[in-house]
Every structure is written in C-alpha cells, then in structure tokens.
Amino acid sequence: MVVEETYLRGCYVITPKVFKDERGFFLESFNKKTFFTETGINSNFVQDNLSKSSKGVLRGLHFQVGKAAQSKLVQVIKGKVLDVCVDLRKDSPTFGKHFSIELDGINKKQFYVPRGFAHGFVVLEDDTIFSYKCDNYYNKPSESGIIFNDKYLNINWGLAEKDMIISEKDKNLPTFENLFR
C-alpha cells in the first residue's frame, strides 16, 4: 500500500496493492499494523457504515463534536464520488481549508479523515456504494454540520447545484462563519 499525507495534516490518501488475474482481484482493505507503521495513527475502528446513492446525491458536510468526534477511513466499493473534508481544528494552520479527491471502485483509493474535520461527498455515478469505518460510535446529540455551498469554504463539488440531490437536513446546516467565526 502507498500512503500519502495531504496538505491537511493528518489526512491520508491510501492506495492499496491490487492483485488481479483472470478470476478478478484481491486487495487488503485494512491492516491496523501497516496503517500504524505508515501514519503513526493507532485507530481503533468500532463501526462500519455503507451507503448506496444515485448520481447527484450530496451527503455532508457532517461531523460530530466533543467526545463523540470520529475519524473515518472511507472508500468507494462501486461507482464514483468526489470526497471532501474541511479542517475544523482551530489551532491548525489549515483551519477552514478543504481537500477533495475522487474515489472510485476502479482506483480503489481510500481516504483517511481524522477527528476535527467535517466530511462529505457528492456521488458522480449511479448506484455508487460508499463504505466507511469510524473510530467512534454515531451519537445523534453530537452531530453537526456545515452547509455544502458555504461561501467562505467555496468548495467546487464538480456538479451544478441544480443537479444535486440534497436532504432537507443538509440544506439547512449552518454556515462555517456561524459555527466558527
């Protein structure tokens, strides 16, 4: 596996070794020892989540606060997404900055998002299956988020807003400024 840290400290793009032959392929999707060796992060994932979405579905930007904060290891099993994270660590030199990457079932890349980040994705192909491991349990009272089209963050989602399918909950999230400025 190849592990590369992004310009947002603690966020990693992971490219697994894929072994292909006439039968299909095999890859190791996670190895705690290797992950620790490559990143210095000793995550203990306790919850796995899976979603299936149509093209245009936008989920995010979500995070949990306080003791319920989560780090996530995300990947696309089938289809394609634009995955985005935003640094919410007030003491970070990249506070308020975001990183985006296309993840798909072909490149099989994974993206590690540490605690202290908002996370979201927009689906670029129908019937996309998105998987993520979390190092903390979902806790509804601790959930929060930032509106996807926040002017300060200025995220290019790669789709026109009119082509996006967004839940009412996500359409009504606060702005970055209302949460942090």
DSSP letter for each residue of the chain: -EEEE-SSTT-EEEE--EEEETTEEEE----HHHHHHHH-------EEEEEEE-TTEEEEEEEE-GGG---EEEEEEESEEEEEEEE--TTSTTTT-EEEEEEETTT--EEEE-TTEEEEEEE-STTEEEEEEESS---GGGEEE--TT-TTT----SS-GGG-EE-HHHHTPPPHHHHH-
Phi, psi of 103 (to 5 degrees): -120, 140
Q: Single out the catalytic residue among 12, 98, 112, 132.
A: 132
Q: Single out the catalytic residue among 12, 62, 119, 138.
A: 62
Catalytic-residue membership of 62: yes
Catalytic-residue membership of 7: no
Catalytic residue set = 62, 132
